[in-house]
Amino acid sequence: MLETLALMGQGFINALVPVNLLAMAAGTTIGIVIGCLPGLSAAMGVALLLPMTFTMEASTGLIMLGAIYCGAIFGGSISAILIHTPGTPASAATAIEGYQMTLQGKAGKALGTACISSFFGGLLSCISLYFFAPLLAQLAMKFGSPEYFWLSIFGLTIIAGVSSKSMVKGLISGALGLLLSTIGMDPMEGVKRFMFGQSSLYEGINTTCALIGLFSMSQALILAEQKITQRARATKFSDKMMLNKKEFKQIAPTVGRSWIIGNLIGILPGAGASIACFLGYNTARQFSKEKEKFGHGSIEGVAGSEAANNAVTGGSLIPMLTLGIPGESVTAVLMGGLIIQGLTPGPDLFVGETAKMTYTFFAGFVLIQFFMLGIGLLGCRGFAQISRLSDAILIPAVSVLCVVGSYAIHKNFVDVVIMMIFGVLGYLCRKFDLNTAAIVLALILGPIGEKGLRRSLALSGGNPAILFSTPVCWVLIALCVFGILSPILMNRMEKKAVEQAGGDIPGETGDDPVRTPD
């Protein structure tokens, strides 16, 4: 206990150094800009800027990526409120009440509510990050090869199922990722597999190139396919953004409930912020004393949605850091960032010298919420105009960053080719409604599962009974069954939440929010 408290204190001291504070400010600003641009996503932004962190200290790089993550989730509410077009799917429910407030001349109040609720939702989620992550890491220390095999299977089943409208398509996505994970040298025998004479594939497909292609270049291709649009003009607002005492008191219970909802959804791998925002919104309406205001501009509705989707951020980091199972697509990209820094997600992050880096990231994640609050309140008027940026500017800008970022990894043109291949693959996956997050997860978890299986069989002389030899194995098997069946529950929850929220929501069209032309 004393050792943990010492690490927490040291983490805050390390997080407060100037370079980390600069990373927080820059990352949060970039994230908000990405979030308020309809058509872009938090995962795309983190993947696109991942190469920027290569030369940074591990903790500084992770802090910057975490800041982009949090900033983008909040940034989606700006366009949702001002032009009725969610910047990210996580702000779809915010558009319901937020735009109604804009029509009433209360755009500033709506943005202030979104910013303050996002701050408290994200800040409170850090409590569970500090409390649950070390406990889960201690449990993970008892894992052997059989347990790691079942853990990888659990991660694949739950994200492939929950994150896709079709369980079959989700599992196909996971299988495709597993197939791609076999490229490179055999981890046990050193035999070349599917390398096509390319020595650059010795260690397998570069995860960063795959991430940039699947999340960023594919988005540029999707935007290029559509008509170049000038988005709806953002409404100018002059009312005050800061809430008064009565309004703070009104939204406080809603923020508390949405924090719990968002945290639980975040910890559950595969669920994501888009589900949390609707559940937070519906819960706010159910418990509200002014239900008649919902659908006509309720600050409780804005607060419920925004507190829930930002509470997901801290919760989703827990399974990623402790078990190596990303909670959603953004944390899958963050996991790639850890691997690039030479760090293995799991219990090793919480022991020895690595623990100092982990707790510095935790402290930085707390401070990021304060940067998001300050930058959000001070810069909303400027960010509102960014949401008007045309696709004619976005498409070439994103494409150039994809090429430069992938080339900068090893200064090798083969990496650019790999990125482009995965960009086309990501584009096709979106067209056929496959799940790009499941492909990335399988690409990362595939080698872990393969090593766990083959080492287990080597230890037992080929007897598969070793895979069922411990209570932890049976618990993980039960979780795998839950992972396969959970899409049924999640789909029902999401459909019910959308129906209760008022039917079709502008921008809630999967990964690609609708853009409103002039």
pLDDT digits (tens, 9 = 90+) for 51-104: 888 788 888 989 999 999 999 888 888 888 887 777 777 787 888 888 888 888
On the question of pLDDT at 369 being above 90, the answer is yes
Confidence of residue 271 (pLDDT cuts 50, 70, 90): low
- CA dist 87 → 32, 107, 277, 432 (Å): 10, 16, 14, 23
On the question of pLDDT at 437 being above 50, the answer is yes
Yes or no: say if 319 and 272 are a contact pair by the CB < 8 Å rule. no
d(CA 160, CA 484) in angstroms, rounded, equals 9
d(CA 129, CA 11) in angstroms, rounded, equals 14
Confidence of residue 504 (pLDDT cuts 50, 70, 90): very low
What is the predicted pLDDT for the residue at 345?
A: 80
**What is the distance in angstroms between the CA of the first residue and the CA of the last residue of the chain?**
58
On the question of pLDDT at 125 being above 50, the answer is yes
What is the predicted pLDDT for the residue at 492?
A: 67
**10 Å Cβ neighbour count for 218?**
25
Where would I find the beta strands (DSSP E) of 302-456?
none
On the question of pLDDT at 313 being above 50, the answer is yes
**10 Å Cβ neighbour count for 455?**
18
- The whole-number average pLDDT for the span 427-433 is 86
On the question of pLDDT at 486 being above 70, the answer is no
d(CA 516, CA 71) in angstroms, rounded, equals 22
Q: What is the pTM of this model?
A: 0.77
Yes or no: say if 282 and 305 are a contact pair by the CB < 8 Å rule. no
What is the predicted pLDDT for the residue at 518?
A: 34
Three-state DSSP class for residue 341: coil
On the question of pLDDT at 487 being above 80, the answer is no
What is the predicted pLDDT for the residue at 16?
A: 92
Q: Two tokens at 468?
A: 């069922």
11-25, 105-119, 178-192, 389-403: which has the highest mean pLDDT?
Answer: 11-25
**Residue 231 — φ and ψ, nearest 5°?**
-70, 165
d(CA 381, CA 149) in angstroms, rounded, equals 50
What is the predicted pLDDT for the residue at 30?
A: 92
On the question of pLDDT at 353 being above 70, the answer is yes
Top pLDDT among 486 and 221 is at 221
Of 381-390, 477-486, 495-504, the poorest mean pLDDT is in 495-504
What is the predicted pLDDT for the residue at 222?
A: 83
Yes or no: say if 102 and 87 are a contact pair by the CB < 8 Å rule. no
Yes or no: say if 376 and 92 are a contact pair by the CB < 8 Å rule. no
DSSP-assigned beta bridge partners for residue 184: 193
- The whole-number average pLDDT for the span 141-168 is 72
What is the predicted pLDDT for the residue at 19?
A: 94
Top pLDDT among 17 and 185 is at 17
Full DSSP string of 27-60: HHHHHHHHHTSTT--HHHHHHHHGGGGTTS-HHH
Yes or no: say if 455 and 461 are a contact pair by the CB < 8 Å rule. no
Sequence-distant (≥ 6) Cβ neighbours of residue 372 within 8 angstroms: 28, 32, 67, 70, 71, 74, 115, 118, 119, 122
On the question of pLDDT at 163 being above 70, the answer is no
Confidence of residue 3 (pLDDT cuts 50, 70, 90): confident
What is the predicted pLDDT for the residue at 27?
A: 92
93-97, 254-258, 279-283, 459-463: which has the highest mean pLDDT?
Answer: 254-258
Residue 315: Cβ-neighbour burial (10 angstroms; 0-12, 13-18, 19+):
buried
Q: Two tokens at 207?
A: 């995860």
Helices 58-83 and 42-49: angle between axes, nearest 10 degrees: 140
d(CA 69, CA 367) in angstroms, rounded, equals 14
Yes or no: say if 223 and 391 are a contact pair by the CB < 8 Å rule. yes
Full DSSP string of 177-210: HHHHHT-EE-TTT--EES-TT-GGGTT-S-HHHH
Three-state DSSP class for residue 358: helix
Please say whether the dihedral angle defined by the alpha carbons of residues 68, 73, 74 and 78, taken in this order, is positive or negative.
positive
Q: Two tokens at 344?
A: 């293995």
Length of the chain in terms of residues written = 518
Query: What is the Cα gyration radius of the chain?
Result: 22
Element housing 430 (H / E): helix 413-431
Q: Two tokens at 113?
A: 């509510």
